[in-house]
Amino acid sequence: MNALSATPFHARTAEANKLNAWETRNGFTLASGDPGEAVAARFGAVVADISWRWRASISGARAGEFVSRLLTRDPARLQPGEGLRTLWLNDSGGVRGLGTLARMGRDAFLLISAVDDLGWLADSAALYGVEVRDVTHNEGVLALIGPATGKILAAAGLEGELQPFGLRKLFWRGLDVTLSRFGDGIELWCAPDDALIVWDRLATAGRPFALCPAGQRALDILDLERGIVQPGRDFTPARDGFSPKPSQQSLGLGALVEPDHMFNGRAGALGPGKVLTGILFDSETPAPQTVLLRGGVAVGHTLGSLVSPALRRAIALAAMDAAAAAPGTALTASGAPCRTCALPFLPEAD
Amino acid sequence: MSEALDALVIGGGPHGLTAAAYLAQAGMRVALLEAGEATGGTCANALALGDLTVPAGAQTLYALDPRVVKELKLIRRGLKFAARDLLQIGLRADGKPLVLGRDARAAARSIAPYSQRDAAQFVDFRRELFAFARVQRALWWEDGASPGLPDELRRLGATGAAAYLDAAFESEAMKAVFAFDAMAGGMSPAAAGTSLLFAWRAAQEMCGLQGAVAVPRGGMAALVAALSGAAQAAGVAIRTGAPVARLLLSGDAVAGAILASGDEIAARIVLSSLSRRETLLTLAPAGAAGFAAAKRLSRGAEVGEAKFVLTLKAVPSFAALQPAARFLIAERLEGCIAAHAEARAGRLPAELALEAVVPTAFDSLLAPPGTDILSVLVRPLPVAPMEGWPKLAPRLSEAVLTLLERHAPGLRANIVNLICVTPKPLRDPLEIPQLRAGWRARIATPIGGLFLCGEAAEPVPALSCRTARIAAAIAVAHLKGAAR
């Protein structure tokens, strides 16, 4: 077994990990924290360590051609500093990955995902003479989530508007950092050696706004409340080159597929699919990967499911038949009453 | 760029010519692109051997589809056979040759010195094999048919040739005589499912005889001439000296080809008689065939065969009595399994299996009187040996000549010229499960409108032209479907 790594922020997250609850993701030791930390993001702001998320740099003269063939949305329109959320599929249309592609330069891209898929990317990129490298260890990344995020960044001296799926490099009082807006909130990227300085500066700037460190459990809840599907948590990605499961249709990820774009596995990804919706349970018992029944007839299934401390009930993402996806449809999951609702569960308060 | 053709066929070998002829007969406007200066591919007399020219590919025909012969009127176009049913003769260092002809009594007499039991069993062995093979013709001859005797097919599909022969015979001589055929497509006789190679071979028919091996009069070039005549008569535009650089795609469907000269030829469908690997990895744009498929295709065959052609001043002694025969040299089946492992590791194996034919002994058209041709296929050999073929070829020649000399003393002294064709790179590896699969999956590609029509889509690589016939039918149906 490979040794576990500590993220560049480990010294600080360990200190904040009052429950001493730990978990491992992508080979990193991470503070699990308390689910209740998610509530802080509804009023003030939380800071969470997302350095563990897999990042691969894709570079070479034909990098643009390669990512265009790889991804289910056309990245050709991206300018440097822009990103998009997308899938990549195997030859039969099975979803191998879901993540964000950012254009770093004319022939350089960065792919970010919760689950790594380096072998597939490297083998495929070799067809184009394109280089793919795992750069997960090359920087530390923090996510700032909550309504006070903007004010905290301003107080810290990190000014500037950022469009959704935008990315900007800044020089911040002697440090090279990058700000991006790829998920729920703002991400701040820095060199591993600068990580503790960055954490401390944010903590100082955030103190008047009740900035609170959050662990991975809270981060998962915030993701899910925002309606963001994450591979690994919400579905198991295909690991075979030819297996058609799970298809994007079965996961309700049609919004991440451009049918007119030519991508790997396109033939298997065409055709109508299920619709991604939210599910609100009456109880506080989550039901992940469970069939949803309406009047005894299966009309969909849940993906990931967690308890939302802010809503004080269990919630789930679900892939539903279009006919049963209207908000408010009464359903049962393993006997537990629930109903559909529109996504996101909770809006990101700016 | 002129108006789009209906179909483009890449490769002017027998398979390409056949496919083009069938497409044109179906009323399609077809062009055939051949990289070389003449059609025929590895069947063309392209290798100079002294004053003669000889082909680099097949030395016998054992799988040519009789329906292609009939439908393309190849007999009327001059295809004749110099030998219709070659004897299968196993040459032995430890005794008399095994002569396994169609005459069951003669075969039993020849086997008896090695094993009385095997002599008694051989007739049943061949009858059962031929009966099973006949039932599987539906699967191996036609598109869309389901296999007969599926349980038996599944059982053989998991049985190695070595285990199959061990069950059938007790003498090493009888097992060894089948060793060469067990290594078709670069397989090891120990590999699971290779017993199906015998059944597949037995399902073939030449000159109306099941499991026969024939040789055209005038050599393989005569087959090329007949097929070429059929293609031209059907209206195929044949372009030689026109190597294809890459395929043109529109979306995820093929739209034509670009020649090395830069010319673009638009076509609604393309049939390629090249290997799957060449077609999808070299000619198609990167990634078009699918990333996982590309990875699978990048692993080529590791073990192949070489061909030697010798001109001699006299017929080798083993062919003096029975000239119309394929002479098989392999000492032990186990030795061939070890040899395959050595070849896979990139080394020249210590033991080799040979199939030798002396076509001049039954065909006077091939060489002037007083000159004989000995054509030899050698298995198993590394496709990419560690030291490289330029260095290994002389050592292989020495090994092959030593082996031949053992069975034909004085052969070396009679050699006038010798040529060696080393194993072909870029060949697709044979996949045994394909022997149980339908044709469509092998012929269709992930790229719309692109079909394979050559050896790459055969269940076992062989000169059958059956793929071309079926691929043409599938392609025509595809075009008609697209028109609707």
Tell which A residues from 260 to 279 touch B, by Cβ distance under 8 Å: 262, 264-267
For residue range A123-161, what is the model confidence (pLDDT) as tens digits? 999 999 999 999 999 999 999 999 999 999 999 999 778
Alpha helices in B136-287 (DSSP H): 137-141, 150-156, 161-168, 172-177, 179-182, 195-202, 220-234, 276-277
CB proximity list for B185: less than 8 A, separation 6 or greater: B197, B301, B429, B430, B460, B461
Measured between alpha carbons, how far is residue B293 from residues A175, B227, B475 in Å? 45, 33, 22
Closest CA to B356 of B373, B344, B370: B373
Coil, strand, or helix at residue B384? coil
User: Nearest residue on chain A to B296, judged by CA atoms?
Assistant: A241
A306 vs A36: CA distance, rounded Å: 12
Last residue of a domain, one of A103, A136, A169: A136
Residue A93 lies in a domain: yes
B339 vs B345: CA distance, rounded Å: 10
* Residues from chain B contacting residue A90 (CB–CB below 8 Å): 291-292
The C-alpha of B143 sits at a distance from chain A's nearest C-alpha, in angstroms, of: 23
User: Nearest residue on chain A to B280, judged by CA atoms?
Assistant: A127
Could A264 and B293 be called an inter-chain contact, meaning their C-beta atoms sit closer than 8 Å? no
User: Nearest residue on chain B to A94, judged by CA atoms?
Assistant: B292
Reported as half-sphere exposure (CB side, CA atoms, 13 A), residue A269 has a value of 29
Residue A260 lies in a domain: no
The C-alpha of A115 sits at a distance from chain B's nearest C-alpha, in angstroms, of: 19
For residue A253, which amino acid is it? Answer: L
CATH number at residue A129: 3.30.70.1400
**What pLDDT, on the 0 to 100 scale, is given for residue B114?**
96
* Residues from chain A contacting residue B251 (CB–CB below 8 Å): 262
Q: Which of B251, B286, B295 sits opposite A123 (nearest CB)?
A: B295
Residue A39 lies in a domain: yes
A323: which 2 tokens? 């006919």
* Residues from chain A contacting residue B290 (CB–CB below 8 Å): 91, 241, 264-265
The C-alpha of B173 sits at a distance from chain A's nearest C-alpha, in angstroms, of: 44
The C-alpha of A108 sits at a distance from chain B's nearest C-alpha, in angstroms, of: 19
Last residue of a domain, one of A105, A121, A136: A136
Q: Which of A120, A124, A241 sits opposite B287 (nearest CB)?
A: A124
B466 vs B472: CA distance, rounded Å: 10
Across A252-287, b (16+ Cβ under 10 Å) vs e yields bbbebbeeebebbbbbbbeeebbbbbbbbbeeeebb
Determine the topology of domain B5-44+61-80+218-298+430-483 in CATH: FAD/NAD(P)-binding domain (3.50.50)
B263 vs A114: CA distance, rounded Å: 47
Could A267 and B286 be called an inter-chain contact, meaning their C-beta atoms sit closer than 8 Å? no
User: Nearest residue on chain B to A124, judged by CA atoms?
Assistant: B291
* Domain identity same for A167 and A152: yes
Could B293 and A91 be called an inter-chain contact, meaning their C-beta atoms sit closer than 8 Å? yes
| DSSP code of residue B408 | S
For residue range A206-243, what is the model confidence (pLDDT) as tens digits? 999 999 999 999 999 999 999 999 999 999 999 999 99
**Which range of residues forms the domain containing residue A65?**
54-136
Closest CA to B268 of B8, B71, B56, B468: B8
Coil, strand, or helix at residue B138? helix
B26 vs B475: CA distance, rounded Å: 10
Closest CA to A27 of A148, A92, A114: A114
Q: Which of B252, B292, B294 sits opposite A242 (nearest CB)?
A: B292
User: Could you tell me which residues are beta bridge partners of residue B270?
Assistant: B8, B450
Answer yes or no: is pLDDT of A30 > 90: yes
B65: which 2 tokens? 């589809």
User: Could you tell me which residues are beta bridge partners of residue A89?
Assistant: A95
Closest CA to A332 of A307, A297, A288, A303: A297
* Residues from chain B contacting residue A69 (CB–CB below 8 Å): 286-287
Mean pLDDT score, A30-36: 93
Residue A68 lies in a domain: yes
User: Could you tell me which residues are beta bridge partners of residue A318?
Assistant: A277, A302
B438 vs B143: CA distance, rounded Å: 6
Mutation target vs A (from B281, B291, B296, B450; most A CBs, 10 A cutoff): B291
Sign of CA dihedral A324, A328, A331, A333: positive
Asked whether the ipTM of the predicted complex exceeds the cut of 0.95, the reply is no
The answer to whether residue A60 neighbours chain B at the CB level (below 8 Å) is no
**What pLDDT, on the 0 to 100 scale, is given for residue A161?**
80
Termini Cα distance of chain A? 43
* Residues from chain A contacting residue B292 (CB–CB below 8 Å): 90-91, 240-242
* Domain identity same for A300 and A152: no
Number of domains in chain A: 3
Establish whether the linkage from the previous residue to B394 is cis, with ω within 30° of 0: no
Q: Return the ∠ at Cα B208 (arms to B203 and B211), rounded to 5°.
A: 30
Confidence of residue A34 (pLDDT cuts 50, 70, 90): very high
Residue A314 lies in a domain: yes
Residue A37 lies in a domain: yes
Could A127 and B292 be called an inter-chain contact, meaning their C-beta atoms sit closer than 8 Å? no
**What pLDDT, on the 0 to 100 scale, is given for residue B483?**
66
* Residues from chain A contacting residue B286 (CB–CB below 8 Å): 62, 65-66, 69, 127-128
A93 vs A257: CA distance, rounded Å: 11
Of the options 3.30.519, 3.40.50, 1.10.10, 3.90.1690, the CATH number for the domain spanning B301-421: 3.30.519
* Domain identity same for A58 and A43: no
Last residue of a domain, one of A107, A136, A165: A136
The answer to whether residue A17 neighbours chain B at the CB level (below 8 Å) is no
A243: which 2 tokens? 């297996």
Tell which B residues from 283 to 322 touch A, by Cβ distance under 8 Å: 286-287, 290-296
Asked if B280 and B289 count as a contact pair (C-beta separation under 8 A), the reply is yes
CB proximity list for A235: less than 8 A, separation 6 or greater: A95, A229, A246, A251, A303
Could B296 and A65 be called an inter-chain contact, meaning their C-beta atoms sit closer than 8 Å? no
* Domain identity same for A171 and A309: no
Could A69 and B287 be called an inter-chain contact, meaning their C-beta atoms sit closer than 8 Å? yes
Alpha helices in B29-160 (DSSP H): 66-71, 104-111, 116-135, 137-141, 150-156
A104: which 2 tokens? 């770093």
Could A262 and B252 be called an inter-chain contact, meaning their C-beta atoms sit closer than 8 Å? yes
Question: Tokens 């199906």 belong to which residue?
Answer: B196
* Residues from chain B contacting residue A237 (CB–CB below 8 Å): none
**What pLDDT, on the 0 to 100 scale, is given for residue A208?**
95
For residue A200, which amino acid is it? Answer: D
* Residues from chain B contacting residue A93 (CB–CB below 8 Å): none
User: Other C-beta atoms within 10 Å of B186: how many?
Assistant: 25
Alpha helices in chain A (DSSP H): 10-16, 37-43, 63-70, 118-126, 149-155, 195-206, 216-225, 248-251, 266-269
Establish whether the linkage from the previous residue to B433 is cis, with ω within 30° of 0: no
A98 vs A71: CA distance, rounded Å: 9
- In chain B, what are the domain boundaries? 5-44+61-80+218-298+430-483, 103-210, 301-421
A58 vs A70: CA distance, rounded Å: 11
Long-range contacts of B90-94 (CB under 8 A, 24+ apart): B90/B173, B90/B174, B90/B176, B90/B177, B90/B328, B90/B329, B90/B330, B91/B318, B91/B327, B91/B328, B91/B329, B91/B407, B92/B173, B92/B176, B93/B331, B93/B406, B93/B407, B94/B173
Coil, strand, or helix at residue A138? helix
Mean pLDDT score, A233-259: 94
Q: What is the mean pLDDT of each run of 10 residues along chain B (484 residues)?
A: 84 97 96 95 92 93 96 96 96 93 93 96 95 93 83 93 96 96 94 95 95 95 97 96 96 94 96 95 93 90 94 94 94 95 95 96 92 96 94 96 95 95 87 90 94 94 95 95 72
Across A136-174, b (16+ Cβ under 10 Å) vs e yields beebbbbbbbbebbbbbbebbebeeebeebbbeebebee
* Domain identity same for A147 and A221: yes
Asked if B56 and B424 count as a contact pair (C-beta separation under 8 A), the reply is no
Asked if A172 and A161 count as a contact pair (C-beta separation under 8 A), the reply is no
B223 vs B216: CA distance, rounded Å: 7
Residue A259 lies in a domain: no
B182 vs B193: CA distance, rounded Å: 10
B181 vs A63: CA distance, rounded Å: 47
Percent of chain A with pLDDT over 90: 93
* Domain identity same for A167 and A21: yes
User: Nearest residue on chain A to B297, judged by CA atoms?
Assistant: A127
Task: Please give the distance of CA B51 from its chain centroid, rounded to a whole number.
Answer: 27
Asked if B160 and B195 count as a contact pair (C-beta separation under 8 A), the reply is yes
CATH number at residue A194: 3.30.1360.120
B372 vs B310: CA distance, rounded Å: 8
Closest CA to B194 of B348, B100, B303: B303
Beta strands in A106-152 (DSSP E): 108-113, 131-134, 140-145
B85: which 2 tokens? 């049913």
* Domain identity same for A41 and A158: yes
Q: Return the ∠ at Cα B353 (arms to B351 and B356), rounded to 5°.
A: 140
User: Other C-beta atoms within 10 Å of B388: how many?
Assistant: 11
**What pLDDT, on the 0 to 100 scale, is given for residue B2?**
57
Q: In what order do the strands lie in the sheet with A28-31?
A: A5-6, A28-31, A22-25
Mutation target vs B (from A62, A69, A270; most B CBs, 10 A cutoff): A69
The residue that leads in pLDDT, A346 or A218, is A218
Coil, strand, or helix at residue B391? helix
Beta strands B415-421 and B209-210: pairing type? unpaired
Tell which B residues from 419 to 458 touch A, by Cβ distance under 8 Å: 446
The answer to whether residue A28 neighbours chain B at the CB level (below 8 Å) is no
**What pLDDT, on the 0 to 100 scale, is given for residue B426?**
75
Could B252 and A266 be called an inter-chain contact, meaning their C-beta atoms sit closer than 8 Å? yes
B93: which 2 tokens? 């260092």
User: Nearest residue on chain B to A261, judged by CA atoms?
Assistant: B251
Computed on alpha carbons and rounded to an integer, the radius of gyration of chain A in Å comes to: 20
